[in-house]
Amino acid sequence: MSQITIISGPERRRVWSAEQKRQLVAAIAVPGANVAEIARRADLRPNQLYRWRRQMKQAAQGFAEVQVQADAVVPMGSAIIVEFERAVVRIPAGASAGLVSAVLRSVKP
């Protein structure tokens, strides 16, 4: 005779806020981070973290994270400083939109 187990209770599906997802994805982006350990501490499977990371990358296409520093010293007067992984672009306040657009497109990874 075989045995059948019936599970009758609420599903174990949890709802994660966007901020919680961002924090966990940021944690796996740290150099040397152990994804399996981070997932275990959050009671998740590692593939869930990878899925969230992929979804965030797809949603952010065309956008970049911006950090504003109040203590930045700009030697050439008013300017916007854009830092990429491999370049720093300083845009003077009087630059035309076309020039700025062309320069940023050329530096884009």
Domain ranges of the chain: 18-59, 64-109
Residues 6+ apart with CB under 8 A from 25: 49, 52, 53, 56
Distances (CA, A) of 51 to 41, 46, 56, 81: 17, 9, 9, 32
What predicted TM-score, i.e. pTM, was given to this entire model?
0.49
- pLDDT-above-90 percentage for the chain: 30
3-state secondary structure of 90: strand
Q: How confident is the model at residue 52 (pLDDT cuts 50, 70, 90)?
A: very high
pLDDT the model gives residue 20: 93
